[in-house]
Chains A and B, each alone.
Chain A
Amino acid sequence: MDARSNAKTRELAALASGAKLSKSQLLGLALALLAALALPWLVSDYRNFQFTLAISYAMAVLGLNILIGYNGQFSLGHAAFYAIGAYTAAIMMEQGGIAYYWTIPVAGLVCLLAGFLFGLPALRLEGLYLALATFALSLATPQMLKYDAISRWTGGVQGVTITKPDPPFGLPISQDQWLYLFSLAVMLVLFVCAWNLLRGRTGRAIKAVRDNPIAASAMGVNTALYKSLTFGVSALYTGIAGALGAIAIQFVAPDTFNFFLSIAFLVGVVIGGLASIPGAVFGGLVIVFIPNFAEQVSKAAPWAIYGVVLILFMYFMPAGIWGFIRMLYARFTRKRGTEKATRALADREQPS
């Protein structure tokens, strides 16, 4: 490998781990943000609702991605945390009469705790065994939500219906537009937090646990603590996502949060792009729109189309959508005068 491609790799790695952004990347980010802000005025209320859902799923995907992509722990049970977040919001709003925006931090904290507590025993389990434990969690979730003793709060098998919030300060926008903007704001805050968390000292420790747990603990990283903490943070993201999702859908019911939802999150993580923060956005979009696409192709066997699409994604974008975009970007920039790129890279590496 020559020096230039070496630098290129480092450049990509730096991008992924969220070191300094280059000018063009900042520009891209700003454009994406602008587009996201303009969206509610460009599409119908129904589309707004779909994008709000996608945002909610994107946050859940990011939560799962922090666990799987950055920490190397596997989970088939994140629907459980999504459910806890959703029910926290539903119960607070409908029974406590508390405003929807307060449910977001509370849902996050409740899930942080739940995730941390679940992470403690799960620590001893690795790979397949962790997969089974989390699988069990996701199977048990609907059953526990239906449990008679707590049905006073959860509504038992009936679930809870939620009233949709109105835009504040008499803003002249629709409920759907407002909810989209609100969700977008929450997502941006959480994404920036994740970016900060993962590029710093903590992030390095989290990744060290993934790459080589034994070596990491030899280096003085408290693997156990980091693993359960990561579990907690991951659950926090998913819980907040659940709360936003519940507010958008206006209804929570136990059987919604089944094993298939956990699977959908996993699909979002891998197709969006493993171990990447922007990938989560694509993951969220994938969860909402691929089933719709599959249904349009064939009503007779929509799942068959869904399955084929998943497999095709893995064939042609093995690193997920974000990985694919980065590859295109890398190819594109390489073509544009190698000299210029080399110079730019050299400049950055040796600050004079």
Chain B
Amino acid sequence: MLHRNLLLAAVAAALTIGAGPVAAKKMYGPGVTDTEIKIGNINPYSGPASAYGAIGKGIAAYFKMVNDNGGVNGRKIDFISLDDGYSPPKAVEAARELVEKDQVLLIFQSLGTPSNTAIHKYMNAKKTPQLFVATGAGKWNDPKHFHWTMGWQPSYPGEAEIYASWLLKNKPNAKVGILYQNDDYGKDYLDGFLKGLGAKAKSMVVAKESYEVTDPTVDSQIIKLKDSGADTFFNITTPKFAAQAIRKAYDSGWKPLQFLNNVSSAIGSVLKPAGFEQSTGVITTVYQMDYSDPQFKDDPAMKAWEAWMDKYMPGADKTNGNYVFAYNVAYTMVQVLKQAGDDLTRANVMKQAANLKHVKVPLLLPGITVDTSPTDYAPIQCEQLAKFDGKEWHRFGDVICPK
């Protein structure tokens, strides 16, 4: 009798999920029970990069919504998010606390290249997934050496290559001035761009200027770039400096063709403060929707996002692009957990994360999907160029997927 019931249940489960024999068997890794999945996260809630703390808060709010709707396959997500103040030593401490003390199933969206580099070896030695890290460095797509680490957003060097190839095709005699943040993020973009230009980099790039995050302004650098005679400007900066640079370039009467990295492409928190008139004509690449962009106002996905913001993040600033990012990346995480079904071991989670096929994440742009395979750890590869027309990002050309 008992036997037959079990069998029936197994058949039913197999039928509903349709995923074959694995689905019937419950396999749990650390941090998983019948009612709960523990997920760890590391975010800078304090310190110089605390602006990104919004991502951690957004993810927590998303998981809260998931839990209120019954969780993932009946299990609630227990989201443990720790503060590292953007400091690698603290990140190591936090990762070890999550993995060893809290016994989480995985660490999700740990933020910042330095922090993730610091825990890279550790996570792989512990065979614990370091999933969808919040940095666009190229090194996260290395499944051969680091099986347990995966990025999410398009890589910085890949994005820079898009600009480079556009330039080579449309403005081969451009004289380019570059402003970049003097850290791994800035250098990643810079290197990708130079690589994209290839042999022509020497003749095309006429000036390179860097700044430190601690600098109060980049005015002096902009004056130097303008003086170099550059007619094209590649702006590799974080939001505050991006807004400063766009405005200073305009005020000083320099009217170059401007490329702005995706990191700072939010309309509400970058272009609006810089001034719409000043930002007109700027080119960037986009892969997700922007709340401040009027073209998405009536999009049903955007409406759902707004409703979620109103309910779970009341009072938060909707123009902050980090909340869209958080929503999208948390959606991807839930997708992986759904796919894993009842086999919630670390190995299977990683297997499912590397088995995302054309996943349509709600606030990604049309034509851009999340795709991974065991040899391709870059979930979002495709982006589209867009030009700011003073009001919204006007996408042009094809969706480009740099390799």
Chain A residues within CB distance 8 Å of chain B = 44-46, 49-50, 53, 139, 142-143, 146, 156-159, 161, 245, 249-251, 253-256, 258, 260, 288, 291-292, 295, 299-300, 302-303, 306
Contacts and interface: CB of A to CB of B under 8 A. Distances in A.
Contact of B101 (A44, A156, A253): A44
Q: Which 4 A-B pairs have the closest CB atoms?
A: A46-B100, A251-B118, A46-B96, A157-B184
A291 B89 CA distance: 13
A253 B114 contact: yes
Interface string B349-376: 0000000000000000000000000000
B282 interface: no
Given A159-B117, A299-B83, A146 B89 contact: no
Contacts of A292: 93
Nearest to A49: B96
Nearest to A253: B114
Nearest to B120: A161
Nearest to B118: A251
Contacts of B121: 161, 250
A92 to B, nearest CB: 19
B182 interface: yes
Of A158, A159, A300, the most chain B CB neighbours within 10 A belong to: A158
B85 interface: yes
The main secondary structure of chain A at its interface with chain B is: helix
A44 B82 CA distance: 19
Contacts of A50: 93
A260 B92 contact: no
11 contacts: A46-B99, A53-B89, A158-B184, A158-B187, A159-B88, A251-B117, A253-B117, A255-B86, A260-B85, A291-B46, A292-B93
Interface in B37-62: 45-48
Nearest to B101: A46
Given A156-B187, A157-B187, A249 B96 contact: no
A46 B47 CA distance: 24
Interface in B52-95: 81-83, 85-90, 92-93
Contacts of A300: 45
Contacts of A158: 117, 184, 187
Given A46-B97, A46-B101, A50-B93, A249 B118 contact: yes
Given A250-B122, A255-B183, A256-B89, A159 B114 contact: yes
Given A250-B121, A291-B85, A302 B46 contact: yes
Contacts of B187: 156-158
Contacts of A53: 89, 93
Contact of B100 (A44, A258, A288, A306): A44
A80 B362 CA distance: 47
A295 B83 contact: yes
Interface in B202-258: 212-214
A112 to B, nearest CB: 24
Of B89, B118, B214, the most chain A CB neighbours within 10 A belong to: B89
A45 B117 contact: no
Contacts of A254: 183
B101 A302 contact: no
Given A159-B114, A159-B117, A253 B88 contact: yes
Contact of B83 (A45, A255, A302): A302
B214 A256 contact: no
A306 B85 CA distance: 12
A139 B214 contact: yes
A298 to B, nearest CB: 9
Contact of A302 (B45, B48, B117, B212): B45
A205 to B, nearest CB: 36
Contacts of A251: 88, 92, 117-118
A157 B183 contact: yes
Interface string B165-187: 00000000000000000111011
